[in-house]
Amino acid sequence: MSKAADYLIELDKDDFRTLQAIEVGMRTFEHVPVESIVEFSKLRHDRVLHNLDNLHRRDLISRWKRQFTGYQLTHHGYDVLAFRALSERDTIVAIGRELGKGKESDVFLAYDEKQKTLVAKIHRVGRPSFKRSKRLRGYVGQRGHINWLYKSRLSAERELTGLKIANKIKLKAPKVIDGNRHIVIMEFFEGTELVNYIDLKKPLKIFNGIISEVRKLFVKGGIIHADLSEYNVILTPKQEFLLIDFPQFEMADHVNGKELLFRDINNICKYFKRKFKIQSDPDLILETILDEYEKLNKK
């Protein structure tokens, strides 16, 4: 994928206009006809044909030939559009190595103009077997042909919103920097997922800390992470922790809010019990948090 980095340099303005015209066309067409690409791009017909060949050769668009010739963006093409927008407004100036592959994302290092290391999380939703993809189906409606594009963008927008709420209440979570289309740019933290730690210096302190953040997110932020587990907590080399991965968050007053909150709490309790022999009572923790939330919201 980090092909996108090279393409940012290799493509010219008209290539991008052509690529963007296809993106616009995809709102209406399953396969965007050449005439529409010409119309949307406001470029000359022969110029568009030349650009289409160029983009197709680089695997940024796919070609469809039946009654007419039409084009679609590929994942690479969509990546390039988003990265270009982010680099045009100087959010990032370079893309680095791959940090990790989640179930529904590719995560890369990125750098801003001051050489600060950031994270670029590229959302890739649309593989039908995954639950987040299923959950977003309702929002996508009839646009079956661009499911992946809409679902990935919605997922990124959702994560951006969740992170902003978390940032506002100063939760231990990465600061969100910017977002475009299906990409979220956030603060980078050295470290690895909690699940990779065999030993913790102060497991009880970390356990209590995580539960306290879950409480704060619910009571102060009014949301539930809803995908919390040992895989979505990062521990730095100094064993400071952060919660990551917010696209599945739900509002505290969601119909299943209580169940979702319990699941988050229970995942953490179970993990610390199994791995670090820490005893806790998830039901009691749940009740305490719900009580506090109610008291605060009655006033």
Residues annotated as part of the active site: 227
- Given a contact cutoff of 8 angstroms between Cβ atoms, the answer to whether 70 and 31 are in contact is yes
Q: Is 53 exposed, middle or buried (0-12, 13-18, 19+ CB in 10 A)?
A: exposed
CA distance 14 to 136: 34
Q: x/- contact string, 160-179, with ligand ATP (CB under 6 A)? A: --------------x-----
Residues 204-233 that bind Mg ion (CB under 5 A): 232
Q: State the Cα–Cα distance between residues 102 and 25, nearest whole angstrom.
A: 30
Using the rule CB under 6 A, give the single segment among 79-87, 101-109, 135-143, 285-293 that binds ligand ATP. 101-109
209 lies in the binding site for ligand ATP (CB under 6 A): no
Partners of 186 in the β-ladder: 119, 176
- Applying CB under 5 A, does 102 fall inside the site for Mg ion? yes
Position 248 contacts Mg ion (CB under 5 A): no
Which of the stretches 7-15, 35-43, 228-236, 268-276 binds ligand ATP when contact is defined by CB under 6 A? 228-236
From 85-93, 96-104, 109-117, 120-128, span contacting Mg ion (CB under 5 A):
96-104
For the bound state, the minimum distance from the C-beta of residue 224 to Mg ion, rounded and expressed in Å, comes to 16
Q: Which string of DSSP letters, residue by residue, matches 27-64?
A: TT-SSEEHHHHHHHHT--HHHHHHHHHHHHHTTSEEEE
Q: Can you tell me the distance from the alpha carbon of 293 to that of 297, in angstroms, rounded to the nearest whole number?
A: 6
- Measure the CA–CA gap between 55 and 62, rounded to whole angstroms: 9
Please tell me whether residue 96 binds Mg ion under the rule CB under 5 A: no
| 72 binds Mg ion, rule: CB under 5 A | no
Please, what is the minimum distance in Å from the beta carbon of residue 89 to ligand ATP?
A: 20
Task: Say whether 18 sits in a helix, a strand or coil.
Answer: helix
Neighbours of 78 (CB within 10 A): 27
Binding partner selected for residue 149 from Mg ion, ligand ATP, none, CB under the kind-specific 5 to 8 Å limit: none
In the bound complex, what is the minimum distance in angstroms from residue 96's beta carbon to Mg ion?
19
User: In this structure, which amino acid lies at residue 262?
Assistant: F
Interface residue with ligand ATP among 23, 79, 213, 227 (CB under 6 A) is 227
Which pair of structure tokens corresponds to residue 114?
Answer: 């001051």
Candidates 24, 34, 49, 99; binder of ligand ATP (CB under 6 A) is 99
Rounded-to-integer distance, Cα 39 and Cα 31, Å: 15
Contact between 228 and ligand ATP by CB under 6 A: the answer reads: no
- Residues making contact with Mg ion (CB under 5 A): 102, 232, 245
